[in-house]
Chain A
Amino acid sequence: MSEPTTKNNSSTTGPLKIIVLGDSAVGKSKLLERFLINSYVGARCSTFAVNIFKHTAKVDGKQFDIEFWDTAGQEKFNNIHHSYFHQADACIMIFDATRKITYKNLDRWYNELRDIRPHIPCLCVVNKVDVAMEVTKKSFSFPKKHDMPLYYVSAADGTNVVRLFRDAIRLANAYRTGDTQDFIDQVLRELEVG
């Protein structure tokens, strides 16, 4: 894996930027809402087709300012605005455990992301496992192929949602500080050992 060469297009100060990607109705907003359920969300800035949630979290004893970016309906244009990806530090890619097409479409989302952010860490998520428990016995080639950790989550009952976002914050921070691969390896190991 090549080192991220992002000194010039990733801001080194300011909040971490974490974006979510995936088809319409896979539960992107629901997952964010579940993670932020107990928090005061500093500013919920809604512009056309983008929702930004500002948040402060303590992970591994360190305080982080984070901006979560949610697409809010840009999916239908088949083309997300570049500013959505601009200076992102990590990306959460989500598909729906009940709809195969949302898994198949991950390739498209991935290509769109990589055109603009070739090196940022990605986390793969299968949501709605509460209604499709059988997927938790399956492995998926998309995350494996791209060296992403896979999370089996449910925004409805909360399964693994907080774990997912904490890992996303860790990875985003690792990307900022330039040691992404070590962290991805560590996160993958933790998920495998369980």
Chain B
Amino acid sequence: MSSSTSIKMQKLGVRFRPPTIYLFYTDVSTGKLRRRTVVLDDFTKDSDITDYANELHDDKTTKKRNLFRYVPLRRLERLLFVVKEGLTANISKNDIEKKLRKFDELDVNEDLNKLDDGTLKHKKLIMNETFEKNRVDPSSKNFVYDVVVDFEPTPGEKQTSEWDSTDEIEEDIKQDDDDFEDDDDFK
């Protein structure tokens, strides 16, 4: 049996100084609760959170000893976000929580073309959660390579998307004799 099945992650914790992550897990073979302490020596206020999370998650140097591979990337990212905020002097727990909520948000009206690389990667990671949830890949029993779906319009024509509407309204109007303008007005 590979070691990957003998570990069950329980909870995660952080410490700000020095930046540290605690991983609590159960070693299934012995039933013992264990704690791994990982000090992030090179983590600073300027570290790119998403990149750093990826590095921890996919760290090849520690191979099977790497516990971070059991932690979803998004959770690692959020954890590192907290660590990073914690490096700011005198920030309250409340403020960190508030900032974290903001960090998790996806603003559908935001123009992502204007973001820097790190922020864009982070937004993609949030979106990727939905993608993974709905993903049907070749390992799935339901996988079909060529999925053809014709979306039949509901009786009648398809409705025009509201995304096409503009603030300007252009319409045909009936000419009413009463308020028909007098030529004199233009003289």
Q: Is the interface of B mostly helix, strand, loop or mixed?
A: loop
Q: Which of B109, B113, B161 contacts A76 (CB 8 A)?
A: B113
Residues in A neighbouring B91, C-beta threshold 8 A: none
B88 within 8 A of A: no
Residues in B neighbouring A99, C-beta threshold 8 A: 108-109
Give the distance in Å from the alpha carbon of A156 to the alpha carbon of B143 in the complex.
11
Can you list 28 contacts pairing A with B, beta carbon distance less than 8 Å?
A25-B120, A37-B138, A76-B114, A76-B115, A76-B117, A98-B108, A99-B109, A100-B108, A103-B163, A105-B113, A130-B134, A137-B151, A137-B153, A138-B158, A138-B159, A138-B161, A139-B158, A140-B164, A141-B164, A158-B144, A158-B145, A158-B147, A160-B148, A161-B147, A162-B145, A163-B148, A194-B150, A194-B152
A84 to chain B, nearest CB (A): 15
Residues in B neighbouring A101, C-beta threshold 8 A: 108-111
Give the distance in Å from the alpha carbon of A103 to the alpha carbon of B160 in the complex.
14
The 9 closest A-B CB pairs, nearest first, are A194-B150, A136-B151, A139-B158, A138-B161, A162-B146, A156-B134, A24-B112, A158-B147, A75-B113
Q: Is the CB of A38 within 8 A of B145?
A: yes
Give the distance in Å from the alpha carbon of A138 to the alpha carbon of B160 in the complex.
5
B135 within 8 A of A: yes
Give the size of the chain A interface in residues (CB under 8 angstroms).
39
B40 within 8 A of A: no
Q: Which of B109, B137, B159 contacts A137 (CB 8 A)?
A: B159
B169 within 8 A of A: no
Across the interface, name the chain A residue whose C-beta is closest to B108: A99
B46 within 8 A of A: no
A23 within 8 A of B: yes
